[in-house]
Amino acid sequence: MKRIDVSEDAYNHVTNILAAIAKPFHVRKGEYLQRAGTPATQVHWLASGVARSGFFNREGVEVTLRFYREGESATTLTDLISGESGQPAVQFLIAETPIHGFTLDWKTASDLRAQHEVMQNYHLNIAMAGLQSMAQRAYSSGETSAQERLTAFREEYPGLEARISQRAIASYLGITPQYMSRLRREAEAGAEAHLEDQPAHARQA
């Protein structure tokens, strides 16, 4: 709710509307919520846990696009729209941790959205936030260093680094896990050097 521009009242209103069609689900770490190559028909709302979306490029290399956390809908919108006509999903959704949540049938949820203006505004804000995130990520991937991308990841997903694998973060940053380890070591060394440069009374504070 705090990650998109909607009020608490709107969030609660939409949640109450969708409660009638929500079905509980649970997956273990490493299980797929959505597979690439299969039509996407479900929205996954996360009550707990972390999911990751991505795709496989022409070389078969896994590319991570984003992460979803508690209180968010793990959704690849373009795949859901394509799924309405039976087209296969391009992206996958996979559990980075055990996940508990609720699934919503996309077609049924779309019918409800057409009947409720509050849902239309809510999903418009979600779509706009998604576009903004995609634009920022495109810039970061093409115009910044790996260290800068790691810093941006930590700012966008505070606390997430300790919850998911280094491999997943490396995939998101577009680097190898080995280089990810190097970035962490350099960051830790830099932090230690900065601390040593502080006056003794400042280090003790």
Same-domain check for residues 189 and 117? no
49: left (phi over 0), alpha (psi -120 to 50) or beta: left
| DSSP E strand stretches across 22-168 | 23-27, 32-34, 42-48, 51-56, 62-68, 73-74, 92-95, 99-105
Percent of the chain with pLDDT over 70: 79
Return the pLDDT at 161. 94
Return the pLDDT at 5. 60
Reported pTM = 0.79
Q: Kind of pairing, strands 51-56 and 92-95?
A: antiparallel
**pLDDT by residue (tens digit) across 61-103?**
899 999 999 988 898 989 999 999 999 999 999 999 999 999 9
| CATH number of the domain where residue 114 is located | 2.60.120.10
Query: What percent of the chain is helix, strand and coil (3-state, nearest 5)?
Result: 50, 20, 30
Same-domain check for residues 185 and 134? no
**pLDDT by residue (tens digit) across 17-60?**
888 889 999 999 999 999 999 999 999 999 999 999 999 999 98
Distance, CA of 45 to CA of 106 (rounded, Å): 12
Distance, CA of 201 to CA of 183 (rounded, Å): 30
The letter for the amino acid at 97 is: T
> Which residue from 179, 203, 205 is spatially nearest to 192, judged by alpha carbons?
203
Same-domain check for residues 36 and 85? yes
117-131 average pLDDT score: 69
Q: Is residue 40 part of a domain?
A: yes
Percent of the chain with pLDDT over 90: 49
Same-domain check for residues 139 and 157? no
